[in-house]
């Protein structure tokens, strides 16, 4: 049933939809002359959607007869998604202008992808879940192949589309199995049905759904698309893929696991433990031999997803809160790191992606070198930086849920990740200098990476706020 109260609940999506359609018309009539205005208005639309989250939260938990959830969890996830999407828009103009590929459609595609991500984290029904997922994916396929004159970008878009379609098919098959055996597509109905015991058909549906969602979070063994897409896609698009959709996919996975599949916790917890361990180990080991910074960040994202899933594997409010806190800190580190990567340009202003080119950066660009060091140390989990707190929270939740062996494995595997992060710092500070980068970076890039670096350094001051917000988000699911 559609009523005014339900419309208030979806106000963030309405703001994004209206803003996206208006900007689409502006881009269609004004063309690429309106690029700067479209970029700024897109960021303003995201800010407006962020402000509308207050309306969504004030409405209450359910809308449209349970199809849509407007709770603290969705608000927490959407705030992260909107912030990451806005940063991805702001970081893009300088990159695309260098290659002559600047198009007004870029920020509009991100707006439409963001609508889909908002529906994903607010889904209360498998149908809402699938519509949101596909809306995000359709925009993402175009974004991956945005630079049509670049073979790598076209290849990335094609690979993402083919493998994404396969994952969507797997997910849809799992949804149909669960519907067939439980008689419901609503999360509450599914939970009631499997509360009487998990049949073989429901178990198969559960496995297929988790497999499809594991692809979306690029968790092992469904990670195969990540390195190629991250390397081939334009760098601002890679920054977007590594942040906002990752939060949306993790948020969706958490909601499905806790709300729909909660009574079958023993079954999906075993899957989550395996996926977390495999992602941590594979992501850490595979990153060691990488020479391209974007491929390294791809394996780093797989590794980080594994750590985040440790919290979900606990199946407790503390575990879910730890996972969401981890994603908040991860978004900060990722956006900051990609703001640094976007400044990897040769003397002619052309993008450079090799790790070896970072040699001697500490002599030619001291500020950029320091920012790189902060983000790499934080991703490695070195105290007292904010990244250490992210890992500490998920390990603490695992110990509290009697998964001490899982926490011990995660702590040991952190050493592997630390190796390739420290390798970058070693290249920056101790290797023989190579050709110097462009003398100065863009003002927006500098501003974003400075803001992210400052938060990473003084993040412990924000712990009370982050802990309360993530705890409230987790509590709304239980």
What pLDDT, on a 0 to 100 scale, did the predictor assign at position 60? 62
Identify the DSSP state of 291: -
pLDDT of 122 strictly over 80:
yes
What pLDDT, on a 0 to 100 scale, did the predictor assign at position 102? 72
Q: What is the pTM for the complete model shown?
A: 0.92
Name the residue with higher pLDDT: 61 or 339.
339
Q: Are 277 and 409 in contact (CB under 8 A)?
A: yes
Identify the DSSP state of 148: T
422: helix, strand or coil: helix
User: d(Cα 391, Cα 324) in Å, to the nearest integer?
Assistant: 12
For 23, 54, 113, the CA distances from 48, given in Å and listed in that order, are: 14, 11, 16
> Model confidence at 3, in pLDDT bands (50, 70, 90)?
low
What pLDDT, on a 0 to 100 scale, did the predictor assign at position 58? 62
Out of 79-83, 256-260, 429-433, which region has the weakest mean confidence (pLDDT)?
429-433
Mean pLDDT, the chain, whole residue set: 87
**Backbone φ, ψ for residue 289 (5° rounding):** -90, 5
The per-residue DSSP string of 340-381 comes to HHTT-B-TTS-B--BGGGGTTHHHH-HHHHHHHHHHHHHHHT
Q: Are 353 and 292 in contact (CB under 8 A)?
A: yes
What pLDDT, on a 0 to 100 scale, did the predictor assign at position 222? 85
pLDDT in tens, 267-302: 888 889 999 999 999 988 888 888 889 999 999 999
What pLDDT, on a 0 to 100 scale, did the predictor assign at position 398? 92
What percentage of the chain exceeds 70 in pLDDT?
97
For 38, 130, 281, the CA distances from 213, given in Å and listed in that order, are: 32, 11, 20
User: d(Cα 258, Cα 253) in Å, to the nearest integer?
Assistant: 9
pLDDT of 434 strictly over 90:
no
> Model confidence at 9, in pLDDT bands (50, 70, 90)?
confident
The per-residue DSSP string of 190-216 comes to HHHHHTT---HHHHHHHHHHHHHHHHH
What pLDDT, on a 0 to 100 scale, did the predictor assign at position 417? 80
Structural domain spans, the chain: 4-475
User: d(Cα 57, Cα 71) in Å, to the nearest integer?
Assistant: 6
pLDDT of 36 strictly over 80:
yes
Q: How many other β-carbons are positioned within 10 Å of the β-carbon of residue 54? A: 12
Question: Per-residue pLDDT averaged across 380-392, rounded?
Answer: 88
pLDDT in tens, 147-204: 877 788 888 888 888 888 888 999 999 999 999 998 888 888 898 888 888 888 888 9
pLDDT of 322 strictly over 90:
yes
Q: How many other β-carbons are positioned within 10 Å of the β-carbon of residue 52? A: 19
Identify the DSSP state of 125: B
User: d(Cα 103, Cα 231) in Å, to the nearest integer?
Assistant: 20
**Backbone φ, ψ for residue 292 (5° rounding):** -100, 130
Residue 247: enclosing H or E segment and its boundaries? helix 244-255
């Amino acid at each position: 049933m559609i009523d005014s109260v339900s419309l208030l609940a979806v106000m963030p999506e309405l703001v994004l939809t209206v803003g996206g359609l208006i900007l689409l018309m502006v881009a269609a009539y004004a063309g690429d002359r309106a690029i700067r205005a479209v970029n700024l208005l897109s960021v303003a639309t995201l800010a407006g959607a962020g402000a509308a989250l207050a309306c969504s939260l004030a409405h209450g938990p359910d809308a449209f007869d349970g199809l849509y959830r407007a709770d603290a969890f969705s608000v927490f996830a959407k705030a992260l998604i909107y912030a990451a999407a806005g940063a991805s828009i702001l970081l893009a103009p300088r990159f695309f202008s260098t290659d002559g590929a600047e198009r007004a459609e870029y920020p509009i595609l991100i707006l439409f992808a963001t609508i889909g991500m908002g529906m994903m984290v607010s889904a209360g029904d498998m149908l809402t879940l699938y519509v949101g997922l596909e809306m995000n994916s359709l925009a993402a396929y175009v974004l991956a192949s945005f630079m049509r004159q670049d073979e790598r970008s076209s290849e990335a878009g094609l690979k993402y589309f083919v493998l994404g379609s396969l994952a969507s098919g797997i997910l849809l098959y799992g949804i149909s199995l669960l519907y067939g055996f439980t008689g419901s597509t609503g999360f509450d109905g599914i939970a009631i049905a499997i509360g009487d015991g998990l049949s073989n058909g429901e178990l198969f549906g559960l496995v297929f759904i988790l497999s499809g969602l594991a692809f979306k979070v690029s968790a092992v063994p469904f990670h195969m698309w990540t390195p190629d897409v991250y390397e081939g896609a334009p760098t601002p698009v890679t920054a977007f893929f590594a942040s906002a959709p990752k939060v949306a996919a993790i948020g969706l996975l958490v909601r499905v696991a806790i709300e729909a599949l909660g009574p079958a916790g023993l079954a999906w917890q075993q899957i989550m433990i395996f996926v977390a361990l495999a992602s941590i180990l594979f992501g850490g080991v595979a990153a060691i031999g990488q020479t391209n910074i974007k491929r390294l960040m791809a394996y780093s994202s797989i590794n980080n997803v594994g750590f985040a899933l440790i919290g979900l594997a606990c199946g407790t409010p503390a575990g879910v809160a730890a996972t969401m806190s981890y994603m908040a800190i991860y978004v900060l580190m990722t956006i900051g790191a990609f703001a640094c990567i976007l400044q990897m340009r040769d003397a002619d202003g052309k993008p450079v992606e090799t790790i070896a080119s970072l040699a001697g950066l500490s002599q030619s660009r001291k500020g950029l070198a320091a920012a790189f060091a902060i983000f790499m140390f934080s991703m490695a989990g070195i105290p007292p930086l904010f990244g250490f707190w992210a890992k500490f929270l998920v390990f603490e939740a695992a110990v509290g849920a009697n998964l001490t062996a899982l926490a011990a494995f995660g702590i040991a595997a952190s050493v592997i990740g630390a190796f390739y992060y420290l390798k970058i710092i070693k290249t920056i500070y101790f290797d023989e200098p190579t050709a110097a980068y462009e003398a100065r970076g863009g003002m927006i890039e500098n501003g974003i990476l400075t803001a992210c670096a400052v938060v990473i350094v003084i993040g412990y001051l924000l712990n009370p706020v982050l802990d309360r917000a993530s705890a409230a988000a987790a509590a709304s699911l239980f």
